[in-house]
Amino acid sequence: MENLRREHVPSGNFRAKKTTQIILQAFLGTCVGVALYDTIAQVGGIIHILLPEPPSTMVPEYPEKYASTGLPLFLDKLKKMGADVKNLKATVAGGALVGPVTYQDINLDIGGRSTEIVISILEKEKIEILETETGGFFTCTLELNMKTGTSAIKPAWHGKDCTDLNYSIPSKDEITEIIKKLQPIPQTALKILRMVQSEEYEIKAIADELSVDQVLSARTLRLCNSAMFSGRIEIETLNDAVILLGESILVQSIITAAVKSYYNQTGQTGYSLCKGGLFFHALGCAMTAEKIADTTKQVSPHKAYAAGLLHDIGKVVLDQYIAGVYPMFFRGINRDGSHSIDMEKQFFGATHCDTGAFLARKWNFPNSLIEVILFHHNPDKSMKHKKMVSIVYLADLLMSIFNTRLELENINAEHITTALNTIGLTMDELPGIIDSIPLKAFDSKRMLLSS
């Protein structure tokens, strides 16, 4: 049987192609995917829709994110490539309620509204829908074979070997040995992080610290020149970065560059479901937490960014073990609906929250970051920094629901009401937060080049 190369279509994007030797693939939770193919013109593709419609009447920066604006763009692209709407056939999937369902999920119903808009547009264009599988409570994969034009909707766990394995829980000493073997976050970055968290720093002092570490300096400059932070302006020196990007972005880029190298010690048979998945998830959480903090004015956006970036550091440790139990771990989360925290306790005897908090104390993180790392799955347990923990919990939850398949995780949504109340955010404001989830954070080709 011929093996075709698979190409991932990330959320808020579409891929349109002539017949070729690949399979287009979109991993869907609350997002909605539409596969279209014209067998006569041999043209087709997939769009991965994030939201129903733009939050305002202004022209959106990324129209492909929305059902109302993205699907028409996708259709226009296919037509320009030679497709005829009379010959196009559609497959629609996604729009699920991911995780434990609460009345908030049903009221928000983002996936359901996206589906309605998609179906309306397809019916208006008189495009035949061959198959539709939307709603429900599961994540799925939408695939389009660009060689044959055939599409398929599969459960997220399809094809995974779920045979039980012989496995022994690692001891605390074994986990400690793994921690010793991992390359830690550089001391320069840790010192700068502590300065930022204390909010008692001058940019010159940070630049002086960074200049001592030439490797981190080089990584920081590459990241400053990535699509995430500038993309259009050439940054050659740290002084250029301060002048052209501003102090806050330079500080963010320093911390991000350091954390990226730490997360890169994970593989692709563990938590990460794509190359760099764990880092991309952390980066999305950081940028989403920053947006929530800026919207609510409850905590410093800069502190929220760092907290979002660091919340999953414990996974880098446990990732060294997860390959041995990956089939059972995957089955528990995706098929049986178990929470990742419970699965970690079962297989490792500790959670990534516990392990991350151990690292955070070892690296002398401030108490606010330690609480975020320890309680970001259960903000109700937070003591002195409940607002910060709630913000990162919400960012983590939104990333897991709307940018599924970056990492292996299932977050308990039962704390959403408490978290929203803690930071003074309402359900009506959530779509705006979701809309702000930065697509550029998942431009994996550019981000990986900046490593």
Question: How confident is the model over 392-425, as pLDDT tens digits?
Answer: 999 998 888 776 556 767 777 788 889 999 999 9
Q: What is the pLDDT of residue 167?
A: 61
**95 phi and psi, to 5 degrees?**
70, 30
Please compute the mean of the pLDDT values over residues 13-29 and round it to a whole number: 90
Provide the terminal-to-terminal Cα distance of the chain, rounded to the nearest Å: 36
Cβ–Cβ < 8 Å for 350, 301: no
Tell whether the model's pLDDT for residue 304 goes beyond 70.
yes
| pLDDT tens sequence across 132-191 | 887 655 578 899 999 999 999 987 555 444 444 456 677 888 888 888 888 888 888 888
What are the Cα distances from residue 77, in Å, to 62, 70, 119, 308? 15, 11, 19, 36
What domains, with CATH codes, occur in the chain? 5-155 (3.30.1330.200), 172-182+265-449 (1.10.3210.10)
Tell whether the model's pLDDT for residue 5 goes beyond 80.
yes
Q: What is the edge-to-edge ordering of all strands in the sheet holding 151-155?
A: 5-8, 22-28, 140-145, 151-155
Q: Is residue 155 classed as helix, strand or coil in its secondary structure?
A: strand
Across the chain, mean pLDDT equals 81
Task: Give the closest residue to 417 by CA, choosing from 184, 190, 107, 209.
Answer: 107
User: Cα 426 to the chain's mean position, in Å?
Assistant: 22
Q: What is the pLDDT of residue 319?
A: 86
Helix axes 214-224, 238-245, angle to 10 degrees: 30
Tell whether the model's pLDDT for residue 105 goes beyond 70.
no
Task: Give the closest residue to 255 by CA, choosing from 176, 365, 361, 178.
Answer: 365
State the Cα–Cα distance between residues 44 and 58, nearest whole angstrom. 29
| pLDDT tens sequence across 241-252 | 777 777 778 888
State the Cα–Cα distance between residues 355 and 373, nearest whole angstrom. 9
More confident site: 27 or 335: 27
242 DSSP 8-state letter: H
Please compute the mean of the pLDDT values over residues 21-38 and round it to a whole number: 90
Give the whole-number percent of the chain exceeding pLDDT 90. 35
Q: What is the pLDDT of residue 273?
A: 65
Tell whether the model's pLDDT for residue 432 goes beyond 70.
yes
Q: Which of 53-57, 80-84, 184-188 has the lowest mean pLDDT?
A: 53-57
Q: Which of 98-112, 252-266, 391-405, 425-439 has the lowest mean pLDDT?
A: 98-112
Task: Give the closest residue to 33 by CA, choosing from 174, 139, 159.
Answer: 139
More confident site: 443 or 222: 222
Max CA pair span of the chain: 65
What are the Cα distances from residue 95, in Å, to 67, 391, 413? 12, 25, 17
What are the Cα distances from residue 299, in Å, to 164, 199, 293, 392? 45, 12, 6, 11
Mean pLDDT is highest, among 79-88, 335-344, 420-429, for 79-88
Q: What is the pLDDT of residue 353?
A: 95
Q: Is the dihedral of CA 329, 331, 332, 337 positive or negative?
A: positive
State the Cα–Cα distance between residues 306 and 301, nearest whole angstrom. 9
Q: What is the pLDDT of residue 132?
A: 87
